[in-house]
Amino acid sequence: MLPKGYKKTCYACSRKSSPCVGAEQSAARLKTCNGGSVTAVLYVVATPIGNLADMSERAIAVLREVDLLAAEDTRHSAVLMRHFAIEAPAVAYHEHSGEAVERRIATCWESGGSVALISDAGTPLISDPGYRLVRLAQALGVQVSPIPGACAAIAALSVSGLPTDRFAFEGFLPAKAQAREQYLADLVDSTATLVFYEAPHRVGECLQSMDKGESAIDSALVELMLSLASEMPPRKAAQLLADYSGVRKKRLYQCYLDAAQKR
């Protein structure tokens, strides 16, 4: 069935008459519009997490050839597009995107076109609302193809010095202290390495919450800047907090990793 919120409108075409109801009818309309053969595709393309040299040749080729680019922030992605001479028209696709944006994307698929989904940096759908577009494509019978590349969480894990045989990605912690500390308390018995994203201005507060909850847990703080330029080796949250307080806060996101030493 179609994802929640997509039941009343047929996104497989932009016609106003007799809208389809349900994924099967939408997919059938898509096939009819394509002359009986579905060639539409959604590429989920990973982009660099700061260093443009990390962009793969395949990703560049795909972005140069697609009919439409769905970007988390078109202004941010314009830097990438200019650098690699990517001329595809771009539409902003993020958590606040409305029905009109999805209809435009589906209209591209209706004609057998290709769409590339990119986030501001790294692999789409990792702490990113792009999953809604993937679900819509699947519901409409559109092929979904990943173009792998950089992922901040995996890159940070690789230099953290923490165990990586088992890990869990927890995304962004709650912004308010009480909710954040309760969230961490629920995770304290985990035997896996826990990966968090955090905004630069809240990293200090995050470390304080972790120090309150379980000071015996070793941690590693990785800064994602123009490249993975620095990392702090595993220590307790209180020690990291003392070191971090003297560091100039960066504009880009930080990645915080936390391993429970209970195995």
pLDDT at residue 225 is higher than 60: no
Q: Which of 174-188, 193-207, 222-236 has the lowest mean pLDDT?
A: 222-236
Closest CA to 261 of 204, 169, 192: 192
Domains of the chain: which residue ranges?
23-147, 152-259
Report d(CA 138, CA 134) in Å as an integer.
6
Consecutive H or E run containing 68: strand 68-71
Q: Select from 86, 92, 105 the least CA-distant residue to 42.
A: 105
Question: How far is 74 from 56, CA to CA, in rounded Å?
Answer: 20
Coil vs helix vs strand at 219: strand
Amino acid at 226: L
Third-level CATH fold of 23-147 = Cobalt-precorrin-4 Transmethylase; domain 1 (3.40.1010)
Closest listed residue to residue 3, CA positions, set 19, 22, 18, 20:
22
- Written as one letter, the residue type at 247 is V
97-151 pLDDT, tens digit per residue, is 888 999 999 999 999 999 999 999 999 998 887 899 999 999 999 999 999 999 9
Structure tokens at 239: 């020690």
**CATH H-level superfamily of 152-259:** Tetrapyrrole methylase, C-terminal domain (3.30.950.10)
pTM: 0.75
